Structure 1
Amino acid sequence: MRHGEAEIGKKLEKDIDRPLSEKGRFGAKIIGTILPDYVSGPLTIICSPAQRTRQTLDALCLKSSISLKFIDKLYYGNFDDYISLITTISQDGVPLLVIGHNPAISQVVTQLNSNCLPVASRPRFLQPANLALFDFPIAKNRISIGRGNFIALLKP
């Protein structure tokens, strides 16, 4: 999932401190109401430590998680960092929710996908508060990159 829309134009010392806009909070809240139609039960959640990703997570109002980790590499990292985290943290049968940033999150969604997403040719196709859902075969307790079956792209 890409974080909700962040405020722009505010003078902040650091990008990591940018908060969500009202539209961003509303968009994430909508995704939080849709997500249980697709995923039920416990979740493993990894989230960037940025203010806007934390606020996105809060706005989702998820009731069930077995593990929540704020991981610096989801803010500072690149495509390879995201893939490494996803493949090492994934657990057999437990949905993983990743809340991160473009361009890495869009690149990851493109690479995880085995069936073509019509918008995946664009490097930053995930808009704020968009969530791409996949189902993966698990081999040796790890997901197989490029083997994900795309289920849905949730948009507020």
Structure 2
Amino acid sequence: MQRLIIMRHAQAEKSAPGGDIDRPLSKHGRHDARAMGRALAERGLRPDTALVSSARRTHQTWDEVSEAMGDVEVHLSPALYNASSDVLRRAVEAAEDTAGCLLLVAHNPGVHQLAVEYLIESAASPGVMDKMSGGFPTGAAAIFTVDVAGRPTYEGWLTPQDLEK
């Protein structure tokens, strides 16, 4: 794997009859997810593999993002639903030999914790750490370059709010 994109699902509705796992994206969330897909693709960040939580909002986020991505191998996983950073890391590591660019679409706090762990491990600058200290908003993506030893290094940060500016 040469690149890793860690993305939080886009904004979801507050509730759903089937409970948290069934919460759909809001209209705003669908718009943000489509915009993030276009923005990632325009920057040459097109995954060949996507690991996506099986929750409705993450699956819908992927559906909107994928419109700009072309052919991507997608793996929906119940294990990624509200997963800890350790579970997310193991999923990333399991896919690292088969993906050139991997996109992980999951939930907070796991995605935020995983991104911060990678920043700490790669000795990211204080300015980069500050960017991530404010949290991981819905629809945001942290982008990492991965070296030959499998160590992610911070490459960029993109949020739907950045695209509105």
Task: Give TM-score scaled by structure 2 length.
Answer: 0.81
Q: How many residues align?
A: 147
Return the offset for 1:62. Answer: 3.5
Match of 2:42 in 1: 37
Return the offset for 1:13. Answer: 2.6
Match of 2:116 in 1: 110
Structure 2 residue ranges without an equivalent (≥5) = 1-6, 161-165
Equivalent position to 1:7, from 8, 13, 20: 13
CA distance in structure 2 between the partners assigned to 1:5 and 1:134 by the alignment: 23
- Partner SS state of residue 135, structure 1: strand
Return the offset for 1:71. Answer: 1.1
Write out per-residue CA displacement over residues 60-91 of structure 1, whole angstroms, 9 at most, x where no aligned residue.
11433442100111104211100111111113
Sequence identity percentage: 29
Match of 1:26 in 2: 31
Match of 1:152 in 2: 156
Return the offset for 1:92. Answer: 6.7
Match of 1:59 in 2: 64
The 3 A distance-change label for structure 1 pair 76 and 93 is closer
CA distance in structure 1 between the partners assigned to 2:62 and 2:76 by the alignment: 11
Residue 137 (structure 2) pairs with residue 127 (structure 1): yes
- Contact 2:12-2:24 within 8 A present in 1 as well: yes
Letter in structure 1 aligned against 2:30:
R
Letter in structure 2 aligned against 1:126:
F
The 3 A distance-change label for structure 1 pair 94 and 55 is same
- Partner SS state of residue 70, structure 2: coil
CA distance in structure 2 between the partners assigned to 1:77 and 1:31 by the alignment: 22
Letter in structure 1 aligned against 2:34:
K
- Partner SS state of residue 91, structure 1: coil
Return the offset for 1:41. Answer: 5.3
- Contact 1:45-1:65 within 8 A present in 2 as well: no
List structure 1 runs of 4+ shifted beyond 6 angstroms. none
Write out per-residue CA displacement over residues 77-133 of structure 1, whole angstroms, 9 at most, x where no aligned residue.
2111001111111137710000000000000111122214213335xx110000111
Return the offset for 1:40. Answer: 4.9
Letter in structure 1 aligned against 2:92:
I
Structure 1 residue ranges without an equivalent (≥5) = none
Structure-to-structure mapping, 1:89-104, within 5 angstroms: 89-91=95-97, 94-104=100-110
The 3 A distance-change label for structure 1 pair 130 and 42 is closer
CA distance in structure 2 between the partners assigned to 1:80 and 1:51 by the alignment: 22
Task: Give TM-score scaled by structure 1 length.
Answer: 0.85
